[in-house]
């Protein structure tokens, strides 16, 4: 982090709707708080597997609550997230591995596209309820995010490379090292140590720890 700024890392996966909320709020606070925001694309499936965690929707009552919660949160956070009624099938039937490898490839070659690309993946999956696991659909997302066909094609080829696979595994392992058990995992490096915050509803607490003022999810 640059002088006097707090490094805040956001470990996220585009399959996670709460990650989208945290992502948008942190993007809004990036120029309000004295922070350096670092996007860390990781693989939620790997974190769940390593920690024995289960998606909240696996528990029927929790799944019911999740639908209502998301609806309220989307409105409050002003993020165009819409939960499909069959959200359980929607989430469990989709692997984000390819998407997260693609995002990882772009983060290493063209990091300036990392933010718009991640946002477009969430938009496609959580707003339009379209597939993000097939190569042709990943290319559509990339185009929406402003990537050239050449760059998209190159990144797609990189998803099968050992370098990109290892990079995603490493980032996921790093999230685990900080104590993550789900997503989003926000890590603030403050006072010489990492502070982990889980979920999109702990950003107020993050602010208080790093000495910044919370102005709600839509500071304007």
Q: State yes or no: pLDDT of 1 exceeds 60.
A: no
Domain assignment present for 217: no
Domain total in the chain: 1
Per DSSP, which regions of 42-135 are E strands? none
pLDDT tens-digit series, residues 138-190: 999 999 999 999 999 999 999 999 999 999 999 999 999 999 999 999 999 99
- Band (88; pLDDT cuts 50, 70, 90): low
Domain assignment present for 174: yes
Measured at the CA of 44, the angle between CA 38 and CA 47, to 5 degrees, comes to 100
Instruction: Quote the domain boundaries for residue 90.
Output: 6-210
Domain assignment present for 83: yes
β-pairing verdict for 35-41 and 185-190: unpaired
- Band (87; pLDDT cuts 50, 70, 90): low
CATH code for the domain in which residue 105 is found: 3.40.30.10
pLDDT tens-digit series, residues 117-140: 999 999 999 999 999 999 999 999
Q: State yes or no: pLDDT of 56 exceeds 80.
A: no
Domain assignment present for 53: yes
Percentage with pLDDT > 90 across the chain: 85
pTM reported for the whole predicted model: 0.95
Q: State yes or no: pLDDT of 4 exceeds 90.
A: no
Rounded to whole angstroms, how far apart are CA atoms 50 and 55?
A: 13
pLDDT-wise least confident of 2-11, 32-41, 171-180, 184-193 = 2-11
Rounded to whole angstroms, how far apart are CA atoms 172 and 167?
A: 9
**Residue of 2, 16, 95, 160 marked active site:** 16
Give pLDDT, residue 2.
Answer: 59
Domain assignment present for 219: no
If you average pLDDT over every residue of the chain, what do you get?
94
CB under 8 Å to 219, separation ≥6 — which residues? 28, 29, 32
Domain assignment present for 92: yes
Percentage with pLDDT > 70 across the chain: 98
Mean pLDDT of 32-56: 94
Instruction: Look up 208 and say whether it is catalytic.
Output: no
Domain assignment present for 216: no
Give pLDDT, residue 59.
Answer: 81
Mean pLDDT of 66-88: 89
């Amino acid at each position: 982090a640059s002088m006097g700024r707090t490094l805040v890392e956001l470990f996220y996966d585009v399959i996670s709707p709460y990650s989208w909320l945290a992502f948008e709020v942190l993007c809004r606070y990036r120029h309000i708080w004295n922070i350096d925001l670092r996007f860390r694309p990781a693989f939620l499936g790997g974190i769940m597997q390593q920690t024995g965690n289960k998606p909240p929707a696996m528990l029927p009552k929790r799944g019911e609550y999740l639908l209502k919660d998301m609806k309220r949160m989307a409105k409050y956070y002003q993020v165009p997230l819409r939960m499909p009624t069959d959200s359980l099938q929607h989430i469990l039937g989709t692997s984000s591995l390819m998407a997260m490898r693609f995002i990882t490839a772009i983060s290493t070659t063209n990091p300036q596209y990392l933010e718009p690309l991640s946002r477009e993946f969430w938009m496609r999956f959580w707003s339009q309820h379209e597939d993000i696991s097939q190569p042709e659909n990943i290319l559509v997302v990339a185009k929406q995010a402003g990537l050239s066909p050449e760059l998209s094609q190159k990144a797609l080829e990189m998803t099968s490379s050992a370098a990109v696979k290892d990079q995603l595994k490493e980032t996921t392992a790093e999230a685990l090292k900080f104590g993550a058990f789900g997503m989003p995992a926000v890590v603030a490096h403050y006072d010489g140590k990492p502070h982990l915050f889980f979920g999109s509803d702990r950003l107020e607490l993050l602010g208080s720890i790093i000495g910044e003022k919370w102005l709600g999810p839509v500071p304007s």
